[in-house]
Structure 1
Amino acid sequence: MMERDLPEGLSADRLPEHVAFIMDGNGRWAKKRVMNRVKGHEKGAGAVRQVVETCTKFGIPYLTLYAFSTENWQRPKKEVDALMGLLTRFLRNERKKLVKNGVRLTAIGEIDRLPEEVRHELDLTMEETRSNARLTLCLALSYGSRSEMVAMVQKIAEGVKEGRIDAASVDEEMVSQHLFTREIPDPDLVIRTSGEMRLSNFLLWQSAYSEIFFTDTLWPDFTESEFASILKDYQGRERRFGKVLQP
């Protein structure tokens, strides 16, 4: 049994298995303080550390963070380069802590598009943490749900063409097994910060029956206490998965 350290009012047996975050608001956080956008991303890295620590503390086994989307490549080169540098330093600096705290790192997305230095640090961290089992931290990097689904269709179509897959056998389970997320469960709860109310091409298939929570808090200001409050809200919801609950 995983040891949990829960705040009052939070039930251990109704926690989500998988929480996914759309980490939004770094740029606006910096703009409010008349700072460069990169400063907002640097501050946001602190919120990442805190959320990872909170999940290990509460006993939530899966956490996915939308760290860099396929659309983010269209941002100014200076900002993209700064983000890649920040990611490289984060992986390098946090590796020992992830190992110590039992966190296994994985990644989804078009990883081959990332700079070589980022991929090197990512591979090292995933290798050194692969035996950890307390928390699986999944970074969505160069990720877009639509491109993920296009790749899934292409893989299945190739299997049908080669005779390895019977077209009539294609079902939801087969689709799921051809997505980037095939090794992790669908998210029970998706949280987006900064007040925007959209999924922005994030886990569209996987979030079909996820509970969704939008908060006005900018990502760098997101705290453990707000996370706990959202989890309490989640525990008060009835998850019906399209069914009518019987009285």
Structure 2
Amino acid sequence: MSLISQKLQAVHTSIQAAARAVSRRPDSVTLLAVSKTFGADAVAEAVAAGQRAFGENYLQEAIDKMGAVKEALAAAPDSAQYADVLLEWHFIGPIQSNKTKPIAEHFDWVHTVDREKIAQRLSAQRPAHLPPLNICLQVNISGEASKSGVAPSAVLETARTIAGLPHLILRGLMTIPEPTEDEQKQRAAFRQTRELLQQLRAELPDQAAQLDTLSMGMSADMAAAIAEGATIVRVGSAIFGHRTKPGSQTA
């Protein structure tokens, strides 16, 4: 068993324990392996261990890596077993207006939509042959000036606009609360995000069934996030190791 495989197994064990502790089904939580700054070989190793969803922050690095991962899997001695494997690529970094087109063309999910203009551009630039792009609205739940995200008070208005765009599916909310080691404070921020999603479901009944996602929780606060309903947790260094390139806090 490879080192990445061992680490993936350990993370899954932690997710399962956290879910069971609050009487949730372990399979109700998806692990998003944050592979930013790690090479295609590391991603291919994670794929070989069964991981299918990967999160990336840096656009050009991600696009290059997608192609390199395909090549690495095709060149593997047991390449036949990967012929029908479908990977999910999630964009979890800040979005600049001039980068929306390649994001719309290459990714399956975008977790960091924080304003209507970005959503409108992603919808307009999503290729017609691809399924609608899965979107999470990023919420600045702690009100930090240093972080992106819609203010909690503006979530409903922004969500209404996004929900009406033709080539997107609004799946839910994403948040990165202010870091704290206090589990009760961690849970309070995640609880507020969950309650916002519940409000969206009530206010947007036609979209309620598809509003099923809470992307929240990283290595340090994953258990608290799961306790408050996270459906996607974003974990990177616990799987791939220490990063050598700085980046926004997403894993």
Q: In which range does the TM-score fall when normalised by the shorter chain?
A: 0.3 to 0.5
- TM-score if structure 1 supplies the norm length? 0.37
Greater Rg by CA: 1
Greater relative contact order structure (CA < 8 Å, 6+ sep): 1
- TM-score if structure 2 supplies the norm length? 0.36
